[in-house]
Amino acid sequence: MTPPIGDNGLSCLNSTLSSINPVNQTNTNNIDEWLLLDSNNGFIRLYDPNDASTSYSRSKLVPCTMWTTIEQICSRLNNDLDPRTWYVQYHGDRIRHLRPDEAPLFIQHSYLLSIGFSSVPRLQQEGDKHDLGYLIRFLSDQLIIDPKIQPRSLSTIAWIRKGKLIRKWIKRKCVISTSRLTVYPDANTNPCVLELQRANVEEVHHKDKPFCIKLTVDDGRSGALFLALNNDEEYSRWLKRLRKTTNKLPDIADYSSSHLELIPKVLFVNPKLTVLNLRHNNLLMRPVNEAVFTVGWLDDLTRFQYLISLNLADNGLKIFPNVIFHLPRLVELNLASNNIESIPSDIVKLQSLEVLNLQSNHLSSLPNEIEYLKRLRDFYLSFNSFKDIPIPLARLTNIRCSDVNNLCLAGNNIRKLSIDVIQHLEYCRQLDLRMNQIKYDDNDLILLNQLNNLTHIDISHNNRINEIDLRSLSKLEQMYCSYNNTIRLILNGHSLKQLNASHNKLKHIDVVTPPMNLVQLDISSNEFQSLPDWLNEENSSLERLIADHNRINVLPNKLFTSSKRLQYVRLDHNCLLYLPEKISNCNIETLLLHCNQIEHLPTCLLKHMHRLKVVNLSHNQLISLPLPNDRTDLNRLQELYLSCNDLYDDVFAIISRYERLKILHLAYNKIEQIDDASLSKLNSLTDLNLSGNNIQSLPQNALSSMENLQVLCLHSNKLRAIPDLRRLNSLKVLDLSFNAIDSASIDNLFPPSLTILDLSGNQAINIRRDSLKTLSQKTVSLINISGLSDTSFDASLWSVGFAQSSGSRNRLAITTVNEASFNYSNNDALFAMFDGGLNNEVPLILKNKLPDILLNEYEQCNQANVYLKHTFLSLQKRLKTTGQRLGAASTVVHIRSLSQSNTINSNIYSSNTTTNSSSSSQTENNFRYELNAANVGHCEAILCRSSIIHPLTRRFTVPHDESECKRVRKTSNIIINEDNALNAITSQTRMLGCSFLYPAILPTPHISSFILSKNDEFFIIANNLLWQHLSHEEAVRAIRSIHNPVLASKKLVDIAQSYGAKENLAVLIVRFNFQKKIHHISNNTCQQQRLSRQQTYSTNTSSGEHSPIASPLLPLLDTTGYISVGELSGSDEDDSDEEHYSSNMPTNLTNDYFYHQSDQISSSSEDLATLNDSTRNRLLARSGRTRFLTASLNDTSTIDDRKNEKVFQSDMGIFNFPASNAQPIRIVPSDLTIVSEILSPSPPPTTTTLSRTKRIKNPSLTSDW
């Protein structure tokens, strides 16, 4: 209980309550005065639960102190609020009933502190903000009931007759509510109530009453009731409702996640209920001092004597409900996630119990009586607080006591094994001890070897087990010991079927008996130099071999002959120089050997491995391929990855024998010419990647015959002309960027299904403007960059490249913010990436909100650990209802210029999630640059400085962050499964959104800060899928020599796909040019130059298809050949949640230019949301409709004028960029209205914000936005 507020405080509170009202024009001043008066002052918003269907738009702003109780607030508000009916709701999900003596402001501040707010003034300011209600809100007046519990009642005035025909018809009011029919007589008579679940419905016909229904109740007392309706429509509606209600009583009831405090009364109609699910509610026990007897408390569960399955998980019970002991027929009981600390000894009364789930509680001991539950079969105790295996639990494993043979104790605090416990585990068969704190010594291993009947053991994620010796366990079938830093492993392989020892430090595995029954072996991410010797023995059981990311340089000679059932082999990222020559009786279907050093393949490899479907040999040193099988029907290969080798033109003669081939990757080889006859045989191809070769021409006939081809990537070649591709009816993605194309017919590049066409980097391409007229209906992103041959220009501060691919997914769930000139300054930049996994709603919202929110936070405080953290927390609120269930990994990088006078002060801060790095550097304009990065989730960024990699982000996932894993394990209501996923949803521990998993998932970011120097080369931002296939070192090594960031980003995507990445990929690379001289251009010169420049026009993109699409997001091309067709429709009306933007801002083509809307691929042709995240595109907004300007692509009249201008220069000498200095415009929002106000779901901001231009409305987002 919080201490009460004093008399002086109460008088001030009353004064503030009276001064804040809708008609007072000094509301804002009153709010500031109240907050400045005391650091314990603040505001809460009180919402009306009756307004649940409209997102709780009606609220009251209530000033209070940290110690003001609900009872005190109610006594001083001029209304009839009941202090006993206050609730707090978190993230639109769980609702908790508050006591009258609780302080709501204290609850609100405690929550804000837990998600990352730390500044007292900021805590105070958050209270009056409307969007805070999507994270935490206070409700009053009544309990929110789920609609399925209280369906709409049905009422009418009908003719009623009860019993025999001599009875008269009487007109009465009839109401059906839930499962009851209530007939209201006159005022002097009690209403008649019929339980419809015990009634029979029958259609009857009377001469004078055509619409009549007969109800008969099977209780032995009531007679028949006739109900005559007024018309056919009403008759049909009532008959349908009555039949639905009177159906046979269900044996199963599911009221999970229904915000219940009481069990619904409708359930008590059926005392023979057998299965009851009440998970994720707030059910309570009957209070001792209950004034009026009420049915529905947990105590009333005794009425269900036939109950065999009861689920009360996640109800916050804190104590084991004793009422359960009075349910003798109970077979299955789930009390997980209830913060229960002990189990009463009366548990012994549940003699029928077979399944008991007590996961995610606070148990540290078990009663001795539990061993008398003879029928108990499954007992789950994971994620509790046990420091040792409970002896009563160990006794349960005795076959004379119960059928329990599986001890589930993952996620506890078990450190060692005791003799007392081991002696009772003689019959234990399965032992799950993952995610504990086990550190085995010799004594522990001796004790563990006494468990002779053990068949399954899981000791993964303990991180302290250096040596594992289980040589005596001859019955062991499955062994899991990954993520342990284990150096030595000794096993008995007599019965071993599955072994997972990945992510350790093993160099070899010793076995007492060779594992002849082994089915799956996973030793990936270790230090093996060769596979275990016993794999060279005759093994007829092995099906899967996973040994990637080791140092293996040689394979057993009999690997491809002794394992007749071997189907899956993964040996990538090793040091293999060759493969065994002997291959026979081989049934391998998937062979992954990429990223090795193989120069030659066995001559019979493809001939004898006739069941191969997937082969990956990318990133080796191959110069040729062996011949396939002479019989075409035995060449079953469907996916072939050969990128990053030394293959020549003759490879097509061999590949053409695989007529079933669907995916072929030959990027970054030495191919110069494609044989038409060979390629024409590959009619089944759907994905063809030939990028990064020396191809000069394409075969016309072969391409025309590929009716199934969907993706064709040919970037970074030497193509000069493109054949007619209109016959490729299935082609969706065509990447012809960075070639030498000098002519093309635009019509020939548009097959019917094409959605993405990339022609960037073709300097000499010439497409007539007239040819665009026939493409007005196309929803194709058409890119075409024409650079000048003039090389007399200098470089910009940084150049940006971007590439992405949706892969096999139908849509892209990744968005980016790419503003190389952020806040109208060429010295500031903002880059971000948001990965929504399976959803694209959250990434779209974050992309649109980030620039303005970050700018607003930066104006309030320019310390990186403050403004970046508050940016993430503000984004969490702005996700609104979408972020309550969905989320996204997020990485934000902000580059800002620092004058010498404030460089030192800029980095004086400390945070437990912040890292700082600085170095002395200074450009010629006396400015230094600071890079500030923040992230949540698994979207990562790295900085390359003098070939040294500096991580900018932290990987917030369970297997990669031990401290985060420990934090999550301490939270309630969370269970981490074997796949390291929280509640089987995500492995990430910090995200924007997914707030329903609070407090396990937080939006608080990791923040790092670097003072940039001339030694900084570039940084990479990429989503999780790229880092799953490439390490930081691999990524840097692959692109460090590529100075064009566009080509570098494309190459990383190509490499990841060649390594097997098949879903969403996104890479953003920013390369620094600090060592080159920077020329400054005056604003007036820029304005004059913009009048003569060619303009940018664009269309929207309708699909998120496969191929990587690049964008050099530099400030502006000096001469632009960016092509696009069509017209975009804008809207005069601002979105209800957006700020008001100025419509008279001068056009600045430096910010208008956006090289490629590459993160918009997943939106529809009408969807303009993708334009919102770019300052340049937002400046195109106009009243009525928005049209991109059209200009001649061939106009070169201004070339001579541009030759003498001072411009920035890219490393490739292709692009010219002018500078600009547009000034921001500020606007002031409307007055704030408080107390008893009716607000729209998305009210305008309550603080002064910086507007950069009017936004284009996003029709794809929900009405909340």
**Whether the bond into 344 is cis, omega within 30 of 0:** no
Q: Are 900 and 922 in contact (CB under 8 A)?
A: yes
- Range with the poorest average pLDDT among 119-128, 178-187, 436-445, 795-804: 178-187
Measured CA to CA, the distance from residue 667 to residue 645 in angstroms comes to 8
Predicted confidence at residue 54, as pLDDT, reads 44
Average pLDDT over residues 863-871: 94
Q: What is the rounded distance in angstroms from the CA atom of residue 1232 to the CA atom of residue 23?
A: 10
pLDDT, tens digit, 9 for 90 and up, residues 714-727: 999 999 888 888 88
Residue range 385-403, pLDDT digits in tens: 999 999 999 998 887 777 8
Closest Cα to residue 1176, out of 1140, 1141, 1149?
1149
Q: Using CB atoms within 10 A of its CB, is residue 10 exposed (0-12), middle (13-18) or buried (19+)?
A: middle
Q: How far apart are CA 214 and CA 221, in angstroms?
A: 16
How many beta carbons lie within 10 A of that of residue 167, not counting itself?
A: 12
| DSSP, residue by residue, 779-803 | --EEEE----S-------SEEEEEE
CB 801 within 8 A of CB 1100: no
Chain position carrying tokens 């160990």: 394
Residue 609 has pLDDT above 60, yes or no: yes
How many other CB atoms are there within 10 angstroms of residue 1029's CB atom? 21
DSSP output for 1109-1158: ------S--SS------S-B---SSPPTTSPP--S-PPP-HHHH--S--G
Helix H, strand E, coil C: the string for 379-435 is EECCCCCCCCCCHHHHHHCCCCCCCCCEEECCCCCCCCCCHHHHCCCCCCCEEECCC
Residue 559 corresponds to which tokens in the numbers above? 């690997």
pLDDT range class, residue 17, cuts 50, 70, 90: low
The helix/strand/coil state of 1215 is: coil
Q: Compute the average pLDDT of residues 279-301.
A: 88
Inform me whether the pLDDT recorded for 167 exceeds 80: no
Please state, in angstroms and rounded to a whole number, the distance separating the CA atoms of residues 993 and 1007.
Answer: 18
Of 42-51, 235-244, 852-861, the one with minimum mean pLDDT is: 42-51
Average pLDDT value over all residues in the chain: 78
Region of poorest pLDDT, from 288-292, 353-357, 358-362: 288-292
Residue 956 DSSP SS3? coil
Contact present, 756 and 1107 (Cβ < 8 Å): yes
Tell me: pLDDT of 193 over 50.
yes
Residue 583 CB contacts under 8 Å (≥ 6 apart), including other chains: 560, 561, 602, 604, 605, 608, 609
**1041 C-beta neighbours (distance < 10 Å), count:** 7
- Residue 735: count other Cβ atoms within 10 Å of its Cβ: 29
How many angstroms separate the CA atoms of 1097 and 1121, rounded?
Answer: 9
The structure tokens 């409209």 sit at 54
pLDDT score recorded for residue 27: 63
Looking at residue 204, what is its pLDDT? 86
Cα(116)–Cα(191) distance, rounded to whole angstroms?
A: 56
Question: 537: closest CA among 566, 508, 558?
Answer: 558
**Which position has the token pair 């194309």?**
741
Residue with more model confidence, 509 or 7? 509
| pLDDT greater than 80 at residue 1228 | no
Angstrom CA distances, 144 to 297, 487, 668, stand at 17, 56, 61
- CA–chain centroid gap for 794, Å, is 41
The residue type at 5: I
Model pLDDT for residues 411-426, shown as the tens digit of each residue: 999 988 888 899 889 8
Confidence of residue 377 (pLDDT cuts 50, 70, 90): very high
User: Residue for token digits 């012809």?
Assistant: 736
The answer to whether 644 and 625 are in contact (CB under 8 A) is: no
> Is 910 in a helix, a strand, or coil?
coil
DSSP assigned state of 203: E
- Of residues 1035 and 765, more confidence is placed in 1035
The residue type of 1232 is: L
pLDDT (0 to 100) of residue 1249 = 34
How far apart CA 455 and CA 1126 sit, in angstroms, is: 66
Residue 641: the pLDDT is 96
* Residue with tokens 């609609």, as numbered in its chain: 147
The helix (H) or strand (E) run that includes residue 1067 is strand 1065-1072
Determine which of 344-353, 498-507, 964-973 has the lowest per-residue pLDDT on average. 964-973
Phi-psi label, residue 1114: left if phi above 0, alpha if psi -120 to 50, beta otherwise: beta
- 787 contacts 1214 by C-beta, under 8 angstroms: yes
* Cα-only R_g, the chain: 35
Count CB-CB contacts under 10 A for residue 29.
11
Residue 884's SS3 state is helix
The amino acid at residue 1166 is: E
847 Cα distance to chain centroid: 14
Q: Is the pLDDT of residue 1179 over 90?
A: no
At residue 773, the pLDDT reads 62
| CA dist list (Å): 1226 to 84, 478, 794 | 46, 66, 34
Burial 653-677 (b: 16+ CB within 10 A, else e): ebbbbbeebbbbbbbbbebeebbee
What pLDDT, on a 0 to 100 scale, did the predictor assign at position 435?
Answer: 92
Terminal-residue alpha carbon distance, the chain: 39
Q: Which two tokens stand for residue 1204?
A: 């003498």
Nearest to 1166 by CA among 1130, 1124, 1125: 1130
Position 1247 scores a pLDDT of: 37
Measured between alpha carbons, how far is 518 from 500 in angstroms, rounded to an integer?
Answer: 11
Q: Sign (positive/negative) of CA torsion 44, 868, 1046, 789? A: positive
Q: What is the pLDDT of residue 1076?
A: 63
User: What's residue 860's pLDDT?
Assistant: 92
3-state secondary structure of 868: helix
Sign of CA dihedral 523, 889, 1062, 1041: negative
Report the alpha-carbon distance of residue 484 to residue 505 in Å, rounded: 8
Say which residue the tokens 């639960």 belong to.
49
Tens of pLDDT, residue by residue over 638-697, are 999 999 999 999 999 999 999 999 999 999 999 999 999 999 999 999 999 999 999 999
**Dihedral pair phi/psi, residue 1047, rounded to 5°:** -65, -35
Rounded Cα gap, residues 213 and 201, in angstroms: 7
Give residue 1184's pLDDT: 32
Domains of the chain: 7-139 (3.10.20), 154-245 (2.30.29.30), 798-1117+1136-1193+1205-1217 (3.60.40.10)
In this structure, of 248-262, 561-575, 756-770, 878-892, the range with the lowest mean pLDDT score is 756-770
